[in-house]
Structure formats: structure tokens, C-alpha cells
């Protein structure tokens, strides 16, 4: 019998949420496949979400959400992706940060931005 691998799930990073309130549906912009738990920023011009990159200048440099399920967005936008957008407590070590958030101080800044959006980390 073949071995099955589950992959990342929300159980890897969500500690508390209110399902009817904490989640949003949004579009993930094409460009990269993203795993569940990826810290996201929103592009100001389009309103689409991408991996938050600290050095970006399009609005996505500010972390505002966490991707709940993987999104295969390498070749095309992914509509109706589920995000943790507010009133959520996440396990910080379960989150996936872009490499630009390379130091503890940078990740502290990212977590502070998430907290401003209503997503706390422990």
C-alpha cells in the first residue's frame, strides 16, 4: 500500500478562530504556489493577495492575512482562496514567512502588522 502524505493544514498554525467570522474569501495573484500558513499581503492596486515580501512597494509589504489552504497560483490567479483575516490566534512557528522576513526583528514587525489586522501570534 502506498504511503500517503497529508501536507500542511490549518491545524499546523491556527490555535483559535471563529469560523463564521475569522475567514475571508479572496483572490491569490498568479506568480507562486503557496502553502497553507503563508503570511500574505494585499496588493493595493488590484486587491489581490500575494506572499508578503518585506521589501515590496505595492502594498503587499504589510502582512494582513494568513492563507488557510494551499493555493496553486504559479500560472494563474486562484479565486475564492480561504484566508484567516481577523480574530485568529496563530502559532508563530507554524507560519510561513517570505525569506525577506529573515531576522527575528523582521518577523516581530510582521507579527505586529498581523496583530493590527486582528491575527495574534504566540
pLDDT tens digits, one per residue of 58-71: 999 999 999 999 99
37-59: average pLDDT = 98
Residue 109 has pLDDT above 90, yes or no: yes
Task: Express the helix, strand and coil content of the chain in percent, nearest 5 each.
Answer: 20, 35, 45
Q: How confident is the model at residue 7 (pLDDT cuts 50, 70, 90)?
A: confident
Domains and CATH numbers, the chain: 10-121 (2.40.300.10)
Who's near 25: CB < 8 A, 6+ residues apart?
80, 81, 82, 83
Amino acid at each position: 500500500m502506498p504511503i500517503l502524505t497529508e501536507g500542511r493544514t490549518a491545524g499546523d498554525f491556527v490555535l483559535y478562530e471563529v469560523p463564521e467570522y475569522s475567514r475571508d474569501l479572496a483572490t491569490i495573484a498568479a506568480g507562486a504556489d503557496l502553502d497553507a500558513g503563508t503570511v500574505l499581503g494585499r496588493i493595493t492596486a488590484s486587491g489581490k493577495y500575494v506572499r508578503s515580501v518585506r521589501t515590496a512597494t505595492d502594498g503587499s509589504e504589510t502582512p494582513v492575512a494568513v492563507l488557510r489552504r494551499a493555493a496553486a497560483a504559479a500560472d494563474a490567479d486562484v479565486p475564492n482562496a480561504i484566508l484567516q483575516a481577523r480574530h485568529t490566534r496563530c502559532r508563530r512557528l507554524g507560519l510561513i514567512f517570505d525569506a525577506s522576513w529573515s531576522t527575528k526583528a523582521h518577523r516581530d514587525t510582521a507579527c505586529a502588522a498581523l496583530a493590527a489586522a486582528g491575527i495574534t501570534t504566540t
